[in-house]
Every structure is written in structure tokens, then in C-alpha cells.
Amino acid sequence: MPVQIVRVPERHSWEDHGPRLRVYLHGSSESSTSGWADTYDVTGADVLQVIDWAQKQAGDTLTYAIALGWDDTEAEKLNPGRGRGLVWLVGMDGNDNTTDPVCAEEAEVQRRMLVRRSSPVALGRDDRVPPGVPDPYNDGSDSRQ
């Protein structure tokens, strides 16, 4: 879908001040985002802090994606255990197959995921994750290292 920007009335929305953001770290190759994935739910942080945390974990070898975890109570009633969905905010599922020409936009998203390993998103000091949060890929507690 091409980028679109449309003005809307401010009051046409509800708010959630405690979002659950899901981070996917992909053990990807140099030219593909496919591979194993570690998944983390993060609460108590905004999306910029979560980007900072994900980038620190991914370093220059992994790719990452971030989604908003959204709980659909009606879907949960119909299919217990399946009410949580994802709204992609940064990247996408690294294991989605985007080789089909119809998936050109998704392939571009995955390409940008790969580029972020060498050109991370720049964040100001105040937008970084606070000190003391778990750091499994850098403190030696991740079992894959």
C-alpha cells in the first residue's frame, strides 16, 4: 500500500496508555530476514524505547520487527486463546515469504529490516530504553550466544 496521509477529527478514537509491544528478533542471513525468532512482550515503554531495546539486542547480525499486541475480546470469545492479534509498527514477520511478485511491498519492508543492521534508527538520549532493563543479547544471558 502506498503511503497515504489523511487529516481526521481528533476525537474519533479511543486510548490505551499501557500498550503491549511485541518484539521479534530474527536470526536472519545476510540477504534474508528468515530464520529462527525470539519473541518478547514489552510493556511500560513507548515505541521509541522499544526500538532502542530491539536495536541493541539485534546488533549488526539479527533483524527485528515490532508490533502492537492487540487483544480482541470478541475474537477471544469465539476462539479461546486466539484473541491477541498484531499490528505491525516496525518491520514485519521475517519468515513471511515475499518472493512472489505480488508481495513487492512486503519485500521492501524486509529489505529495510536488513538495512537497519548497518544503519540503525537514530534516537535521542531521552528516547532510549532506561538503564536496568533485561539485556539478554548483550549481558550473556541469551542461550544462543
Cα dihedral across residues 78, 79, 80, 82: positive or negative:
negative
Considering only residues 11 and 133, tell me which one the structure prediction assigns the higher pLDDT.
133
What are 141's three cell numbers? 544471558
Q: Which pLDDT band holds residue 67 (cuts at 50, 70, 90)?
A: very high
Which has more pLDDT, 35 or 72? Answer: 35
- Statement: residue 129 has pLDDT above 80: yes
Question: Length of the chain, please?
Answer: 145
Model pTM score: 0.86
Find, among 56, 60, 63, the residue nearest to 133 by Cα. 56
